[in-house]
Amino acid sequence: MSWNAQAWRNFLDTSGFGAGLGSVRASNWLIATLGSLGAIGTALYIAFLAALARLPAPRGPGAPEGAAAVVVALQAGCLAMLLSALLTHATPDLGLFFFALAGLAAGLSRGALLESRPASAPLDAGSPRLRVQ
């Protein structure tokens, strides 16, 4: 509990900006993230996690077979690792395996959605300048 108290004290002493990565340890992920990254960094981290949870599972006639099940399984793996971290992680870093699962889920979801589009639909790489027609 003293780690959590010190991390919370660091969060308050820095006016909510956080003390920086590697300078705070706590006995759970949320307090460690607040103490290290501050309120803004924690909000952005949680926004990333929410975007990961909202990834669409590709379904439909053009989607690869089983892609939806794989995306959901990758999301479930990330959720399981996050829940474990909420109880035990001493730093904001969720680990290489978590981010590998998150990247696979995002890539498979986006790739399968692009594959399932009709051939006549323009491809959009996320930027109006990169639109291919």
Instruction: Examine the pLDDT at 127 and tell me if it is beyond 60.
Output: no
The predicted-structure confidence for 50-74, as pLDDT tens digits, reads as follows 999 999 888 877 777 888 899 999 9
Phi and psi, residue 85, nearest 5°: -65, -35
Identify the pLDDT of residue 66: 86
CA angle 126, 132, 133 (to 5 degrees): 130
Amino acid identity, residue 37? L
Contact 35, 29 (CB under 8 A): no
Distances (CA, A) of 125 to 55, 108, 111, 115, 132: 17, 15, 11, 13, 8
